[in-house]
């Protein structure tokens, strides 16, 4: 397995180094569901941005895999649910908003539960960071490639949080050194993807029926918080 640091890292951001990867689930129902629905789209040379410590999609159609994450801790503790040939793997430390890979380098770009963690300070700043990430993803994709995004689409009962996001972000950052996420509604994410230059966006909503560990709150949250009223787990397929 190859591993090399990138030069575009925000060294002042140590937030993700405080996470506890050992608390994340292994082979939870939602992970198995995502694996089933995403496997046919993930193929060839794959780049996983914000790869984190768990990679549970299917590797059967993958020739080479590159994972990039801001957190060195996440990279060091990464786990795969498939048996992987180490010679096909590369792990890089880098920033998703400013990827340092050549144009037209990958057949698939994956972003599993990372888009909401790109948020900073305000909705406008968060939007710019997401669009930058999506533009880089499109740039590094080959012409017939696609981007596979797993996200929690914001529901109607989350609007107060997003309305007051700037205040919540500043308070959480100052008091607890927490980087609060920003969850996009499905229509908002469609527009972000279109603004980044993707030609087509498809999606499917997935049901969550179990308690899930929340790394921001550092607790498990009940299924009701993953229902359509609050959030809906969504798999987006973005076509270049």
**What integer is the mean pLDDT of 83-90?**
89
**What integer is the mean pLDDT of 213-230?**
81
Q: Model confidence at 13, in pLDDT bands (50, 70, 90)?
A: low
* pLDDT value at 5 more than 70: no
pLDDT number for residue 4: 53
Share of the chain above pLDDT 90, in %: 65
Task: Give the global pTM.
Answer: 0.91
Which tens digits make up the pLDDT trace of 28-57?
Answer: 888 888 899 998 999 999 999 999 888 989
CATH superfamily of 2-239: Vaccinia Virus protein VP39 (3.40.50.150)
* pLDDT value at 11 more than 50: no
* Mean pLDDT of the residues in the chain: 89
Q: Model confidence at 14, in pLDDT bands (50, 70, 90)?
A: confident
* pLDDT value at 225 more than 80: no
Cα 137 off chain centre by: 12
């Amino acid at each position: 397995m190859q591993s090399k640091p990138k030069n575009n890292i925000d060294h002042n951001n140590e937030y993700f180094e405080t996470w506890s990867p050992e608390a994340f689930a292994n082979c939870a129902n939602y992970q198995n569901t995502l694996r089933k629905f995403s496997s046919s789209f993930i193929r060839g040379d794959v780049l996983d941005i914000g790869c984190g410590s768990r990679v549970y999609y299917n590797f059967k159609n993958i020739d080479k895999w590159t994972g990039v994450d801001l957190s060195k801790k996440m990279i060091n503790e990464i786990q795969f649910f498939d048996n992987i040939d180490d010679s096909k793997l590369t792990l890089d430390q880098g920033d998703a908003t400013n990827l340092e890979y050549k144009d037209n380098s990958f057949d698939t770009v994956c972003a599993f539960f990372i888009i909401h963690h790109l948020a900073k300070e305000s909705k406008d700043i968060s939007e710019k960071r997401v669009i930058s990430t999506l533009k880089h993803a499109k740039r590094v994709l080959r012409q017939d490639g696609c981007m596979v995004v797993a996200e929690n689409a914001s529901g109607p009962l989350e609007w107060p949080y997003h309305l007051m996001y700037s205040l919540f972000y500043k308070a959480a950052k100052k008091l607890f050194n927490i980087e609060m996420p920003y969850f996009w509604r499905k229509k908002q994410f469609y527009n972000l993807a279109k603004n980044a230059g993707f030609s087509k966006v498809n999606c499917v909503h997935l049901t969550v029926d179990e308690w899930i560990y929340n790394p921001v709150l550092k607790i498990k949250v009940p299924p009701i918080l993953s229902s359509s009223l609050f959030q809906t787990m969504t798999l987006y397929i973005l076509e270049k």
